Structure 1
């Protein structure tokens, strides 16, 4: 009971000391303003995408219903043209649902769009406006969202508030007085770090709660997982800041060492991981991919007539009753199919390699807790590269189903009967969320924090010196 009472007194004393420090109050206030601003922007961004999703779903269903009310044109050419125009521009968008934490990394929505509209044309060459090829791991720190702000600002604040506590009190002569009262040095340090870490954690959690409340697609399970990862992140940096109090020298020396540690862990370690990832899973050459896509496009264009004949031989049941000279769009359909068959594997290679790089970075994420936290946030938001690669594969399958439904009706000049529009393919997302990857990221950081606290315990004798 005496230990509990003593711990309570130390915590209350450290809380009063923190509140009395003007610099600490300003630092916490600015930290809260910055995080809340990022949370507001991220939450509103996620809400905007949620509203857009609802509009896309409503417009797609409305387009299908409206098409079902129009009579089939009597002329075969007009029937084929009507089916082509609808299939090209009015396909239901393939939507990637949020995983419950979209507000954490709303900036990724601009890099990896979660809404793709399929077509009977060549999406990768003629209408490639929605997709951008890039490496999200190399562009994360340029995006302003809640997860990035937390990964950058939380360590800085904990280092500034926690590093040099012991050295500063020694310089002022108050550390000797604290030890003279019978309190153990390591307990005083842990009490001081607990108070500071609690204040930082509370601000970060409240900002996260604001972002999640603004996102209509947020889930309680995703919020709980994020709070767990955030708690582990705060514990790690609190342990690291406490460990810096073992260093000899002044408080400024400890803070500078902490800033150096922050720079190495936040920027240096991810750069090393990225370099190692380049060796394990190098990104394909974009220039080579463009050349291959262009070659596939030109080859299909040169063989347009042969491809049309081959398609009718493979699908005799859709051969027109009357022989005719085929023109656009009928003459272009087999060419688009050939281009898609040759180009889709080239584009899929980028998604697959990006997924491999993401998983490799996750495996070595314990070297950089900020990177590990960002990757966990990507998982919770549903924008991680492995999930996006699976999404793109399902988009390609949906596009193949869309073409299989409309292309024969275009090639046969029969068009689409009004009641057949209701049977047009719809995109249905199916996947399982890898919760184990999120929990593993938090547990890795807790393990690192435990190791640092063990070092602090072994070296506690240094803290007993006045």
Structure 2
């Protein structure tokens, strides 16, 4: 009790209730509020744009349905162009994740809206977006995840790097040893108090932000994700506390402790991710983009030239349909067949892109064990929905929805007929299927477990060192 009382008394005077403590508390609160504002603004901006997109496309689709319904009821069409299956345009939207304001991640770089229509093929479903948003801009945004991964270690280091070494240099260590009996136990508790103070301030700010969700985001949907996110953040904080304690125990001069910790921060936060990304890109380079576009154009040209042959082959697979003799222009049929042929030709290249990306992601997942910052960044973004995999899942689901629509309307388009109202109503609207919290937890559990194990090892070594004889610590 004497050691705890002495440590708390000292910390209360020089840190907790002094200028350094108040300054750090204000700094964390201010940065957290800015990060929350940026994340919230991004989510609300995206949600508003998606709402406008969905309303406009849904209105157009409902008008198309009403035209088809009128034709079925009257038996007459005002024009050969009205209510044709190729003109079905169904919106497909990737909604912001419940905790999306905590990690913008790659959401600023990838599409969140598209149209499922017979005029598109899988290769160009997101093609226009990719040219408008080059991945070279993938620096990421300022958000709460950035605060945890990049800035919180710096705040922890600044708050506590000189707890033991500073006491040695100022002669305070001998006074503490005389009062408490052992300088190591006192330093250990003071380190814990300072870092606990830092994370308590952050946790309070994070809770306040979590309990004030962006518009149209139900609070109940984000609480489970927030608890998992905060748990991953605290695990990362525990690692840095262990690293600070380890450096303080084994290095005697304040400038040496600071240099070692800042070097570790720079390596873990910046150098390791950059090297890991470069190695993954070199090991699994993406296929040629020119080859991808070339195959798409070849497919479209062949379909236009061989429309009659492709039509006959398509109808051979659908004998229930016969070619109509009405006045429907042939461009519906030719464009549909061009997209079918382009899909056949570009699917292998598209699969190669996906395989290359999956291989790179797999290598980066292995390399993340070299950097606690990579582990934390991946875990926090996965939980908050700011990771690339969520967007890739959206693109896969959108392409699956396009394939389903193509299969449903194909026979009617090639036969130059309309689909029935019942057939249209049977087409399911796009509904993105997100990962459950359990699936996210399973994905991040191994690296977070490894991070905790490393932290435990560092804490054990630091504790043993601080329990050494007084002359070794002074």
Relative to the length of structure 2, the TM-score reads 0.84
- CA-to-aligned-CA distance 1:24-83 (integer Å, 9 cap, x gap): 543442333122201221123223434555555555554443333222397789445532
Q: Distance in 1 between matches of 2:132 and 2:389?
A: 15
Task: Choose from 168, 171, 184 the match for 1:170.
Answer: 168
The correspondence for 1:454, drawn from 444, 451, 460, is 460
Query: Any unmatched runs of 5+ in structure 1?
Result: none
Write the distance in 2 (CA, Å) between the matches of 1:283 and 1:180: 65
The 8 Å contact of residues 244 and 258 in structure 1, kept in 2 or not, is answered as yes
The SS at the match of 1:116 is: strand
Count of matched residue positions in the alignment of Structure 1 and Structure 2? 459
After alignment, is 126-135 or 340-349 more displaced?
126-135
Separation (CA, whole Å) in 1 of partners of 2:377 and 2:133: 17
State whether residues 97 and 114 of structure 1, in contact with CA within 8 Å, keep that contact through their aligned partners in structure 2. Answer: yes
Shift in Å, 1:300:
3.7
1:357 aligns with 2:360: yes
How far 1:163 moved relative to its partner? Answer: 1.4
Contact 2:102–2:384 (Cα < 8 Å) also in 1: yes
Residues 352 and 224 of structure 1: CA distance in aligned 2, closer, same or farther (over 3 Å): farther
Q: Distance in 2 between matches of 1:55 and 1:27?
A: 42
Q: CA deviation at 1:147?
A: 0.9
- CA distance in 1 between counterparts of 2:53 and 2:184 reads 58
Counterpart of 1:251 in structure 2 is: 254
Residue 306 in structure 1 maps to residue 306 in structure 2:
no
In 1, Cα distance between the equivalents of 2:147 and 2:294?
39
Residue of 391, 398, 401 corresponding to 1:395: 398
Q: Is the 8 A contact 1:366 1:441 kept in 2?
A: yes
1:338/1:204 Cα in 2 relative to 1: closer, same or farther (>3 Å)?
farther
Q: Does 1:422 align with 2:419?
A: no
**Within-5 A mapping of 1:83-94:** 83-84=84-85, 86-87=87-88, 90-93=89-92
Q: 1:189 aligns with which of 169, 187, 190?
A: 187
Structure 2 partner of 1:214: 213
Following TM superposition, by how much is the alpha carbon of 1:274 offset from its aligned partner in structure 2, in angstroms? 2.5
| Change in CA separation of 1:396 and 1:116 when aligned onto 2, cut-off 3 Å | same
Report if aligned partners of 1:164, 1:245 keep a CA contact under 8 Å in 2. Answer: yes
Mapped contact 1:355–1:386 kept (Cα < 8 A): no
Residues 157-214 of structure 1, C-alpha deviation per residue, up to 9 Å, x if partnerless? 1111121222222222212211121343332222222222223212332343344332
2:447 to 428, 441, 446: 441
Instruction: Give 1:397 shift.
Output: 1.5
Q: Report the Cα offset of residue 153 of structure 1.
A: 0.2
Per the alignment, in what secondary structure is the counterpart of residue 473 of structure 2?
Answer: coil
Residue number in structure 1 paired with 2:83 = 82
Q: Tell me: CA distance 1:351–1:253, structure 2 relative to 1, closer, same or farther (3 Å).
A: same
Whole-Å separation in 2 of the counterparts to 1:398 and 1:183: 71
State the alpha-carbon separation in 2 of the partners of residues 26 and 364 from structure 1: 36
Q: CA deviation at 1:231?
A: 0.6
- Paired residues for 1:15-414 under 5 Å: 15-19=12-16, 21-23=18-20, 25-54=22-51, 56=53, 59=56, 61-70=58-67, 71-72=70-71, 78-80=79-81, 82-84=83-85, 86-87=87-88, 90-93=89-92, 95-97=93-95, 100-123=98-121, 124-125=123-124, 128-131=127-130, 141-212=139-210, 213-215=212-214, 216-217=217-218, 218-248=221-251, 250-278=253-281, 281-322=284-325, 327-414=330-417
For 1:38 and 1:209, the matched residues in 2 are separated by 14
Q: CA deviation at 1:141?
A: 4.2
Q: Deviations over 1:261-295 (max 9, x none)?
A: 10011122223333443455433343443344344
Q: CA separation of 1:197/1:111 partners in 2, compared to 1, >3 Å: closer, same or farther?
A: same
Whole-Å separation in 2 of the counterparts to 1:120 and 1:133: 23
In the TM superposition, what is the alpha-carbon distance from 1:334 to its structure 2 partner?
A: 0.6
Alpha-carbon distance in 2 for matches of 1:318, 1:41 = 55
Counterpart Cα distance in 2 of 1:92 and 1:126: 12
Between the aligned partners of 1:48 and 1:263, the Cα distance in structure 2 is 33
TM-score normalised per structure 1: 0.86
Provide closer, same or farther for how the CA distance between residues 9 and 180 of structure 1 changes in structure 2, counting only shifts above 3 A: closer
1-structure distance, mates of 2:292, 2:46? 30
How much does 1:457 deviate?
2.4
> Hey, what's the Cα distance between the residues in 2 that align with 1:257 and 1:107?
29
